[in-house]
A and B are shown apart, each in its own frame.
Chain A
């Protein structure tokens, strides 16, 4: 196992600093929204976690294509790393959204196009992890994972455009909301600062976690290789 790279230590420190600043911006700098009250502050990290989810699923699709072209194991490890992290963040986004919805929509959950497509995305990628567990041959598992990540990604843009194309009560942050959307608000300057800095922070957090998870994936591959060698 290679020692932890110096750059990863620097990235860990930067991520921690950015995270503290993002929390301060959200809770101290950004003003309280008048019609929703304190729960509006959930919005900053709700969108940021959803963004990280979609970002990771996109990374997994890209490295899936690279694996299918080059057949190098590192792309399989990257794909698994990206999906695992994104699954966690996307889950948090869904739960945070549900908590925000309770006082604003007066319900924890509704089968709105955005909520439905987001749930489908989460289930598709949860199935990815479960199905991977069932394949013992590493090459077959990697090939399956790459094809699945590419095909599974089709559900992500569908989720993104669902609130822009279909009738929905889910507000749109960038662009015009559906007239039936509930919980829309226009962002003031400090709100925009907190929002975009949160997006940036979570993107850096994703890169940091991805690097750590990639290192762990390489270690897991080494352990599996040794196990197969010993048992042969």
Chain B
């Protein structure tokens, strides 16, 4: 009898890999926009105090 090599089912690992990419980049971008917004707010307040 011949040994038959079948393609393993590694679909769940592929999903997990790309989910990590999506989540980490998503969190980074969210933190990025939050920091940007906070800095803009800080600048407005500081400029008011400075005047």
Contacts and interface: CB of A to CB of B under 8 A. Distances in A.
Interface of A: 1, 32, 34-42, 45-46, 49, 88, 91-92, 95-96, 99-100, 102-103, 212-213, 216, 219-220, 222-223, 226-227, 229-230
10 contacts: A34-B5, A38-B9, A38-B10, A38-B14, A42-B14, A95-B24, A103-B10, A219-B40, A223-B42, A229-B50
Interface of B: 5, 7-11, 13-14, 16-18, 20-21, 24-25, 28, 32, 35-36, 39-40, 42-43, 46-47, 49-50
A220 B7 CA distance: 52
Main secondary structure of the interface of B (DSSP, over half): helix
Given A39-B14, A223-B39, A49 B5 contact: no
Contacts of B8: 35-37, 103
B24 A226 contact: no
Name the residue among A37, A212, A227 with the largest chain B CB count within 10 angstroms: A37
